[in-house]
Amino acid sequence: MNDMRTQLSFAPLSGIETDLLAVLAADTQTAKGPNAKPEPVLLTTDEAVKAAAATVLASGEYKAGANETVLVHAPAGLKAKRLLIVGLGKQAKATINSVRNAAGTAVRFTKPRGIRELVFALPVAGELDAARSARAAVEGAFVGDFDPDTYRSDRKDLSVQSFTLAVPAGAGKAAVEAAFAEGVIVGESQNFTRSLVNEPGNKLTPTILGQRAAEMAAEVGLKAEVYSTEKLHELKMGAFWSVAQGSEEPPALIVLRYEPEGVTDGPVLGLVGKGITFDSGGISLKPGDNMEKMKYDMAGGAAMIGAMRSIALLKPKVRVICIVCATENMPDGKAQKPGDVQIAMPIAPDRHGKSIEIINTDAEGRLVLADGLTYAKQLGATHLIDAATLTGACVVALGMINAGAFSNDDATYAKFDAALATSGEKFWRLPLGEEYGEMIKSDIGDIKNTGGRWGGASTAAEFLKVFAEETPWIHLDIAGMAWMEENKPYIAKGPSGVGVRSILEWVRSY
């Protein structure tokens, strides 16, 4: 993790000495029509800063579009050496997430220019609450500071060493300070998830993922247990083991527990993550093109581990259990084959586990999650949420704009949907239903592990619902959002850490 120093300043902007002062602007233009021109306005009350930016704002070449930047050197009347203006887009549409992205944009602007410190001015705008903006800005700064080039021999450390949030006069100091401290925890936790997802499969085996989770747990005060092959057999986790059996690497069953003092009743939230540290597809081998990206197939598990880190540090009053099922999916002589029948973990000692016909060994994520969901319930979870890079079908449906979400309980999902206003992440609820359930019925066993090409995200979710049973449950299919295919102004190409913020806020809603 990087060592970016973060601090708050309540001093007037014009008097702050810094290499770079970043200030936000928004387009206030409301007129419509072909001749309507953008009307960029600086979101600050500091007259000296406004004066320093006046010429460039009046020029018409800067439109304050979302994450659009313009740099003013040696701004007159300011102690700062440079003034960076970052756009939020149309002011009427600006959200807390716009501020988060703008802060990331400011950090990513400074990095290649060798600027090691910056001051980011919180916007003065009635619709953007100061405390919520403060938390989002510092989250965005951490997200912006992460780069994936960890194994370059000539790697230059371009990280921003000092990030100061300048708070406007009149903002509630205590509320801003609390929100700022939260933002640091959440931003660091999201980057912790990204650092796990970024690791190649040879450097992050299931065993090493278990070690990294346990080290993190020890640092923040979570209980951690990491099991392997023997435990899978003891628990009769036939679905999880069916994926693991084809790899030389032993699997890891990672169990993290957060038990706040004085909380002995109420819900127990079960977080279940898919931790496939490399997915070759198994015997149903994937095409070679882009297979290197399949190191990211543990992004759901990593999101749960990052969420647990932030939960441990933010201390909500609710018990949480996290289970990550980690293994490789490989095409060895011992690997499972299409047509095999596997028996999932029994839900109770007096019941048989569900029989699963394997149609495609590349539909392996749902197999490990099936046993993970069952185990979470066995450990006492009353509500479940899982995250997985589960289906290409979800990416076909939603593109790389929204992640998919499914739920068997509207009230539980409503809490998650409400959490998105804070997390700023985009999830779109997709349907479940008996018709999808019919598509995964097996002739030889109870269910099959794929329902064919059509409606693939929904049939995969329907498969998981079989194991959630009546327990309120949410499934997050993050396949399209866990890896950024290109650089954006506020985030580097590579792992995104999607899910950490939304899962955290859902947990806190209890």
In angstroms, the CA 397 to CA 3 distance is 39
Helix (H, G, I), strand (E, B) or coil at 313: helix
Would you say how long the chain is, in residues?
510
**Cα distances (angstroms) measured from residue 167 to each of 10, 11, 125, 346, 374:** 5, 8, 12, 55, 47
* Bridge partners, residue 325, by sequence: 253, 274
Helix (H, G, I), strand (E, B) or coil at 85: strand
* String of DSSP letters for 436-502: HHHHTB-SSSSEES---STTHHHHHHHHHHHHHTTS-EEEEE-TTTSEESS-BTTB-SEE--TTHHH
Q: How do strand 427-429 and strand 483-484 relate by DSSP bridges?
A: unpaired
Q: Which residues of 369-399 are buried (b: 16+ CB within 10 A; e: fewer)?
A: bbbbbbbbbeeebebbbbbbbbbebbbebbe
- Yes or no: say if 454 and 405 are a contact pair by the CB < 8 Å rule: no
- Among residues 354, 357, 353, the alpha carbon closest in space to that of 340 is found at 357
- Among residues 327, 326, 328, 307, the alpha carbon closest in space to that of 318 is found at 307
The letter for the amino acid at 149 is D
In angstroms, the CA 212 to CA 277 distance is 13
In angstroms, the CA 133 to CA 300 distance is 27
Q: Which residues of 90-101 are buried (b: 16+ CB within 10 A; e: fewer)?
A: bbeebbbbbbbb
In angstroms, the CA 143 to CA 331 distance is 36
Catalytic residues: 286, 366
In angstroms, the CA 170 to CA 156 distance is 40
Q: Which residues of 116-128 are buried (b: 16+ CB within 10 A; e: fewer)?
A: bebbbbbbbbeeb
Count of other CB atoms within 10 angstroms of residue 173 = 13
- Among residues 297, 337, 330, 354, the alpha carbon closest in space to that of 477 is found at 297
For the record, the structure tokens of 78 come out as 């300011």
Rg over CA atoms, the chain: 24
- For 324, the enclosing helix (H) or strand (E) is strand 319-329
In angstroms, the CA 145 to CA 6 distance is 12
